[in-house]
Amino acid sequence: MSICARVSEDLAEPLAGSAPRAAAWLLIEQTGPWGPRALTESHFHPELGRDLQELTRGTGVEIALIRRPGKHADRPPSGERIVYLAHTAPGRSWVRTAHLRDPHVLRDLDYAAVGAGDHGGFGADYEGDPLAFVCTNGRRDRCCALLGRPLASELAAAGHAQVWEVTHLGGHRFAPTMLVLPYGFTYGRLTAPTAKEILDATHRGRVVPEFCRGRSSWDRPGQAAELAVRQNHAVEEADALTVTQRPDPGAPDTWTVQVHHTDGRAWQAEVRRTAATPARPESCVKAPSNPDRYDVLSLGPLPAGVGATTA
């Protein structure tokens, strides 16, 4: 295991509350090698990449490039490419897919609407097996390549047809990491057996909290609180929980988070952000630092009839 992932695991750094924040995902097939900033440093159109970054800024839409596991010839792509557009809110998640010859049409999407849950008729409903995206971009962090690429290849060889490599999911030190759609949960520190367990659970509409970093629908305090409820109350159904949060005006870097179950149960958590110690590298190419961590200080049942906090 290379440095940043090994150090994070040795320090028992918690996974919960470390997932990327995205209300929606735009995932674009791009074969060949990727640079550290793959959207503008690959065989993808750099001007289009810059335009898409600007168009999605502040909309809640996260963009990444994807490719099939295996060897990647250093040549421009030809023909159609697959594009996935997904929204991850519980009970309102969807995945749309299209085969595009010219990705410049992606400029025409209303990304503010996508981030709010409206796909605007893009593509067609995706109705296949759950989609899995394993971070493998070694030009961004070597842990992702050394740990992620073998995992993606093994999953594909085991018959999981909808496994892709992806350029970036954040949290290099939690490698290998994986995003699953339609639900938007991100996982970390995976092995082939645990990743297969997660894909099977996702197929059944369930979550494996032990290896979960959080659901991208929620800000990080909400991610930590949701996973605390799942771990303490054995809630496995992917869409069973919704989260609302508000900052605590009397305690800096602290949030009150309410977690509501579709069966009527509800919990309230106090979540605090602190700087992780001792310092550790967030990436193999960065000097040691003190990344944020989100700890659930308390968790208890919310009395029936108590309204939700505001986000």
Write the pLDDT tens digit of every residue in 236-281: 999 999 999 999 998 999 999 999 999 999 999 999 999 999 999 8
| Residue 78 DSSP code | -
For the four alpha carbons of 270, 273, 277 and 283, in that order, the dihedral sign comes to: positive
Q: Is the pLDDT of residue 1 over 50?
A: no
Phi, psi (rounded to 5 degrees) for 141: -160, 130
What is the residue extent of each domain of the chain? 1-218
Per-residue pLDDT tens over the stretch 73-127: 666 666 789 999 999 999 999 999 999 999 999 999 999 999 999 999 999 999 9
pLDDT at 284: 84
- Which residues, in sequence order, are bridge partners of residue 244? 258
Residue 25's SS3 state is: strand
Q: Which CATH class is domain 1-218?
A: alpha beta
**Better-predicted residue by pLDDT, 26 or 143:** 26
Confidence of residue 201 (pLDDT cuts 50, 70, 90): very high
* CB crowding 263-278: b at 16 or more within 10 Å, else e: eebbbbbbbbbeebee
Q: What is the pTM of this model?
A: 0.93
